[in-house]
Chains A and B, each alone.
Chain A
Amino acid sequence: MPASPENHEDYLPPDLQRRLERIYQSPIRVPPELDEAILRAAHKRFANVRRFRSLLRWAIPAAAAAAAIVIAVWQPWQVVHRQATPIIAARRESAPAAQKYTILDAYRVARQLQQGRKPDARWDLNGDGTVDRMDVDLIASEAVRLQ
């Protein structure tokens, strides 16, 4: 639809239009080589972005898969598991009366702690350098452990 006073949003009086054209007419001509160079640079840039996106599409799932496999195979919690058992197993070798603990062992150690006496250091089952209530719990748990 041509500009006219009726559709006034686009309408400019012809005189004003000419004056504006004179004001904003650029005296500088952009050579076509420069246009092409700008276009080439833009194409190159967008190609890089496309490549990067394509790479991401594979890299993220691949990294997730690798992480999952590493976790499944390595299983860090097994390290905790393996560490916990030898502590008790090794201590069991040297602990008093210790092939199989009974609840009486736990009671005796707890009683010594209650009376302010220092239990034998060999009852330090968790290896934290002190015999305390946690060791009593470990002794009792060992006593009731099922095979």
Chain B
Amino acid sequence: MKATTRILAPAALTLVALAVAGTAPGPLDRTQRQDEPTTRPVSASSPVGAMRFSYVDIYIDSHERPLAAFEVELRATSGDAKFVGVAGGDARGFQDPPYYDRRRMELQKPARIIIGAFSLSPDLPTGKTRVARVSVASEANENPSYAVRVIAAGTTDGSQIPADATFAEGAAQ
């Protein structure tokens, strides 16, 4: 009995220590939130189980002015949707994934995201252009609806310009 205790007690202590250490959050989690620009997209994939994957394309219409920078908010107004990734658009200068808060995006309920990007390219789009694609995961029987608004839009000299934001939904392939 005593010998068993002698063997098991240190092992148990070690396990407790490892468990305590394991419950602490990793350093990367904390520092990434503060310092790392969150620009990596998560690509949409085929439906898995009861989930449905779709996307929302964001369009900005800067009318006759070249669009150098934009910041928009997209939110789900109904349905249990979750934004799971962001990719760039097809407008000149905005094909890279925009800035967005990847970690907090996944925690928003109802789903909400702010995306922003700028381009220093001399060849900038005018009129209505697709600037980003947001991937959405939702329950298969959900049909979420969305709203989008412009927070800021700017042209080449850095000044703010009037712009309209719209969106279009699509099903992920």
Q: Which residues of A contact B (CB under 8 A)?
A: 57-58, 60-62, 64-65, 67-69, 71-72, 75-78, 80-81, 84-85, 88, 102-104, 106-108, 110-111, 114, 126, 137-138, 140-141, 143-147
Contacts and interface: CB of A to CB of B under 8 A. Distances in A.
A114 B33 CA distance: 27
Main secondary structure of the interface of B (DSSP, over half): mixed
Interface of B: 6, 10-11, 13-14, 16-18, 20-21, 23-27, 30-31, 33-38, 68-71, 98-101, 104-105, 108, 112-118, 120, 151-152, 154, 158, 160
Contacts, number: 132
Contacts of A71: 21, 24
**For the complex of A and B, 8 pairs with smallest distance between CB atoms:** A77-B27, A103-B116, A65-B17, A107-B118, A84-B34, A68-B21, A146-B104, A107-B69
Contact of B152 (A61, A77, A102): A102
B134 to A, nearest CB: 13
A114 B20 CA distance: 49
A104 B16 contact: no
Nearest to A113: B120
Contacts of A144: 38, 71, 98-101, 114-116
5 contacts: A65-B20, A80-B27, A103-B70, A110-B118, A144-B98
